[in-house]
Structure 1
Amino acid sequence: MTELSRRQHLKQLGALAGAAVTSGLSAPAFAAEAEIPPQGIGKGIKHISYSDIGGRPDSVQVMVNKKHVYVGHMFSDGVTILDASDPRNLKPTGFFTAGQYTRTHHLQVSDDLMLLANGANIVAMQSYDSMRGYFENNLADSITNRKKFRSGLSIHDISKPNEMREMAFLEMPGFGINRLWWPGGRYAYVSAHFDGFTDHILCIVDLQNIAKPEIVSKWWLPGMNRAAGEPDLPKGKRVALHHMITAGNRGYAAWRDGGFTIHDISDPVKPTLISRINWSPPFPGGTHTPLPLPKRGLAVVADEANAEKCAKGLFHTFIVDVRAPENPVPISTLPTPRERDFCTIGTFGPHNLHENRPGSFQSEETVFATYNTAGVRVFDIRDAFMPKEVAYWVPPTPRKLVDPRPNVSLAAKTCDACVTAEGLMYVSDWNAGMHVLEYEG
């Protein structure tokens, strides 16, 4: 895409519902050529501190429990524990690893227990020439240099915050777990790859006996069960469950290029499909995070930007009316950050949303989102048809690149944000450690 056509494309997409709405902020806060200082630049968000996470700055999902922060890593094959009793001075106090080549980048915490994803460190076992290879190929076809790794769900006692005592392990033969949702309770909703399938599918795990977790059901989109002879899915598109988030007896699931689904999970042994919608094409896909807002009959659904420098166009976060779950309707998109030409820097666009977990900041009117090079964004969606950006924070460029994949820009890659009930944000970056921020809204 030429520079002229890219700018025209940005202008056209700016006319989308929501994207065309004024941000609610003042004019651009800094010039495009200005260097971003170590504490970042923002409005409505205060920088509290920074940590390199004990020399392992590659950080993905973040969980908070008993004034400790648990950080899953993208490349470092483990989980770091940080003492956050003083958020201004995070202190690494422990590190857990399931072994080399076993990635444990996603985790869930409740009631002094942790559920931890175990799976193949894909980045160490593939040989694509860019990051797009991971996002545009079936997982089953991605492994070019297979190593020994552990695949399944591990359960840990974290009642002693500086320790992770493994209590149980549920093996899942395949390439393992990508992400999971468990707000506490009997059932966990897991995105896992099993031998014979093309990619991650839904797997519901019964935790009634925490020492002996049990898989009670699986669900997938047509074409994913290769072993059963289902027809192959289109090339160049990745159909895979990123993860499901539940609200009551409904499950909301994001399937990357396979779209967004709503399920009846009133019987976890027999989850059933209520509806499926896919806006790719014309949009580029990568559906990543499905955040339900059940009191309002809405879902906020983020498509993960997965190409360098807007090579696939702009990715968006959609607000979807799900009052009639059999007929979900997108009604707007969150405004696209515009105070810099972020497309020229690296990967730009949505990654994840703060997921309103029990015990954390919970709101159906304020949405916290991460946007890769554009950092953290806070949106007021009281008017779901005209969402507005009300605060932002843009991180500095990292000192070095941790990501070992070729043709990846040296740029910030803000990944996840865990927001506490008090408004503290623990913000991770694939390459650049963790920033602690405070929302001033």
Structure 2
Amino acid sequence: MTSATMNPDVLREPKSASRAGVRGLARLDIQGGGQVVVQDGYAYVGHMRPPDGTSIIDVRDPAAPRIVAQIPPPSPRSHTHKVRVVGNLLFANVEQDRRHFLRKAEGIAPAETQLRDDLGRAPSEAEIAGKLGVDTDQLADLRRELDDPYDEGGFRIFDISDRAQPRLLVHRRTGGVGVHRFDVDDRYAYISTEMPGYLGNILVIYDIADPTAPQEVSRWHMPGQHVGAGETPDWEGRRTRLHHALREGDTLWAAYWHGGAVALDISDIRAPREIGRYNYHPPFPEPTHTFLKLPERIGGRDIAVMCDEEHDHIPGQPHAFLWVMDVGDPAAIKPISTFHLSTHESPYARAEGRFGLHQVEEVVRGTELHAAWFSGGLRIIDLAEPERPTEIGHYVPEPLGDHPAPQSNDVAVDDNGVIYLLDRDRGLEILEREAP
């Protein structure tokens, strides 16, 4: 189930294209990832693409990181780019690799029908491929997908009491293309997944008291998603879907992509109930990636932050940015302020790749946020005055290999304040704050 590999190069003096108040301790040259978490001297990285799955990295000496185990995906058809750790349990998503491309298989039959009607004859493979916007050889991949539908989607739980020898406890299958980002505590897993009969990802909560046999306890979806029950969405495609939900107290704070942000009461875990929503689509074009309630009040107020995720940037529109929200009354969520990064703040802002915000560290201590800002690198933002978010430090890595720009995708901070900045394409930066 696991495979040990030769440790990649560790750069002891990593270079930065721009930095302030932050210095590099080490850079690990590994394949890019979707999420990094740190616990008890180990970092866990979920990689973006097979054959890389999940890496377990000994960072007890953060200047000398060392990979101790790697867990491959179930097959080359899946990626496992998200990871959570609770005690001696590791949770990894299982999601279809290349899912956005492979979904085009759903359009083959409609394309054939439309072309046959238009042409008055059976269309050629080249004509069908052209209608779908793919190459002819890619059409063969899509047909194979129809003949052998993906069925690995879900999540896996591993026993990592021996970090060097993770042991699979269960692969819980869900549906569709599988599980995206998720949250876990010591009793429940809050899973964002596709399920039969639903359009796009929904929330499914599992009881993990027995980690070898997770049991579904409840679901929640945006009205319009349950098409199998006759609901009709008022949006196009899968634009409204759960990205992930984070628990704080008896509330789940759910980022719902182009459906905005939703607060769910889970005081009755078997019956999640919507208690608030804030949606700013339109006019803002970027989807809601994260809705994070801060654990401590600031200035006597309950504060949450929302991260938009930069996608294909539309000229004339703002890059993805950070929202600061007053959530004291979930039924009346309202913005306090926003934080934007100028393209002048990174030498790679106009290089190939994404520039705007992606994600913040989800374990917030005090008023400081650590944000992964794609080609803007790491940004450290102080919310001591929520009306005036203030940057107090940053670190923009130089890209590795032939990548034109860094693509900082996720960030974690350990109990000692060491920062782990994961690149979507390649590399893990290990950083520390400099003394004022």
* Fold shared, TM-score > 0.5 on shorter chain: yes
Equivalent in 77, 82, 96 of residue 106 of structure 1: 82
Amino acid at match of 1:50: R
List gaps (5 residues or longer) in structure 2: 1-13, 105-131, 133-141
- Please give the residue correspondences for 1:67-216 in structure 2 after superposition, counting only pairs within 5 Å: 67-77=41-51, 78-97=53-72, 98-122=74-98, 125-126=101-102, 146=145, 148=150, 150-182=152-184, 184-216=185-217
* Separation (CA, whole Å) in 1 of partners of 2:237 and 2:196: 21
* Separation (CA, whole Å) in 2 of partners of 1:89 and 1:325: 45
CA distance change for structure 1 residues 331 and 103 in 2, over 3 Å: closer, same or farther? same
Equivalent in 301, 308, 311 of residue 303 of structure 1: 308
Secondary structure of the residue that 1:344 maps to in structure 2? coil
Moved more, 379-388 or 285-294: 285-294
* Separation (CA, whole Å) in 2 of partners of 1:52 and 1:269: 44
CA distance change for structure 1 residues 339 and 119 in 2, over 3 Å: closer, same or farther? closer
**Maintained 8 Å contact 1:368/1:376:** yes
Question: 1:392 maps to which residue?
Answer: 394
- Please give the residue correspondences for 1:349-364 in structure 2 after superposition, counting only pairs within 5 Å: 349-356=356-363, 362-364=364-366
**Maintained 8 Å contact 2:151/2:176:** no
List gaps (5 residues or longer) in structure 1: 1-36, 134-142, 357-361, 402-409
Question: 2:224 maps to which residue?
Answer: 223
**Maintained 8 Å contact 2:306/2:323:** yes
* Separation (CA, whole Å) in 2 of partners of 1:70 and 1:145: 34
Deviations 1:158-190 (A, max 9, x none): 1111222111222212211001111x3211111
Identity of aligned residues (%): 30
* Separation (CA, whole Å) in 2 of partners of 1:212 and 1:342: 46
Secondary structure of the residue that 1:326 maps to in structure 2? helix
Quote how far apart the aligned CAs of 1:48 are: 0.8
Question: 1:439 maps to which residue?
Answer: 433
**Maintained 8 Å contact 1:45/1:391:** yes
Secondary structure of the residue that 2:228 maps to in structure 1? helix
Amino acid at match of 1:240: R
CA distance change for structure 1 residues 433 and 308 in 2, over 3 Å: closer, same or farther? farther
Secondary structure of the residue that 1:227 maps to in structure 2? helix
**Maintained 8 Å contact 2:377/2:408:** yes
- Please give the residue correspondences for 1:234-273 in structure 2 after superposition, counting only pairs within 5 Å: 234-235=235-236, 238-273=239-274
Q: Structure 2 length normalisation: TM-score?
A: 0.81
Question: 2:125 maps to which residue?
Answer: none
* Separation (CA, whole Å) in 2 of partners of 1:355 and 1:270: 25
CA distance change for structure 1 residues 107 and 38 in 2, over 3 Å: closer, same or farther? same
Number of paired residues? 375
Secondary structure of the residue that 2:323 maps to in structure 1? strand
Quote how far apart the aligned CAs of 1:93 are: 2.2
* Separation (CA, whole Å) in 2 of partners of 1:92 and 1:161: 10
Secondary structure of the residue that 1:398 maps to in structure 2? coil
Deviations 1:176-224 (A, max 9, x none): 1001111x32111111111222211111111122221111111111221
Equivalent in 399, 409, 412 of residue 415 of structure 1: 409
1:41 aligns with 2:47: no
* Separation (CA, whole Å) in 2 of partners of 1:244 and 1:144: 34
**Maintained 8 Å contact 1:259/1:276:** yes
**Maintained 8 Å contact 2:348/2:405:** no
Quote how far apart the aligned CAs of 1:123 are: 5.0
Quote how far apart the aligned CAs of 1:44 are: 0.8
Question: 1:348 maps to which residue?
Answer: 355
1:328 aligns with 2:333: yes
Question: 1:407 maps to which residue?
Answer: none
Quote how far apart the aligned CAs of 1:427 are: 1.1
Question: 2:345 maps to which residue?
Answer: 339
Secondary structure of the residue that 2:345 maps to in structure 1? coil
Question: 1:373 maps to which residue?
Answer: 375
**Maintained 8 Å contact 2:265/2:275:** yes
* Separation (CA, whole Å) in 1 of partners of 2:317 and 2:228: 32
Quote how far apart the aligned CAs of 1:119 are: 1.6
CA distance change for structure 1 residues 102 and 368 in 2, over 3 Å: closer, same or farther? same
Quote how far apart the aligned CAs of 1:313 are: 3.3
**Maintained 8 Å contact 2:150/2:177:** no
CA distance change for structure 1 residues 329 and 308 in 2, over 3 Å: closer, same or farther? closer
Q: Structure 1 length normalisation: TM-score?
A: 0.80
Amino acid at match of 2:207: D
Amino acid at match of 1:349: G
**Maintained 8 Å contact 1:310/1:347:** no
**Maintained 8 Å contact 2:345/2:376:** no
Amino acid at match of 1:300: V
* Separation (CA, whole Å) in 1 of partners of 2:58 and 2:365: 27
Quote how far apart the aligned CAs of 1:438 are: 0.8
* Separation (CA, whole Å) in 2 of partners of 1:389 and 1:372: 16
1:62 aligns with 2:62: no
Secondary structure of the residue that 2:332 maps to in structure 1? coil
Question: 2:123 maps to which residue?
Answer: none
Quote how far apart the aligned CAs of 1:419 are: 0.5
Deviations 1:260-313 (A, max 9, x none): 001101111100000111111111131011111143211011000111585753
* Separation (CA, whole Å) in 1 of partners of 2:396 and 2:103: 31
Amino acid at match of 1:185: D
* Separation (CA, whole Å) in 2 of partners of 1:229 and 1:145: 30
Quote how far apart the aligned CAs of 1:233 are: 3.9
* Separation (CA, whole Å) in 1 of partners of 2:434 and 2:206: 39
Moved more, 269-278 or 147-156: 147-156
- Please give the residue correspondences for 1:281-292 in structure 2 after superposition, counting only pairs within 5 Å: 281-292=282-293
* Separation (CA, whole Å) in 2 of partners of 1:411 and 1:224: 37
* Separation (CA, whole Å) in 1 of partners of 2:214 and 2:346: 48
* Separation (CA, whole Å) in 2 of partners of 1:256 and 1:163: 37
Question: 2:9 maps to which residue?
Answer: none
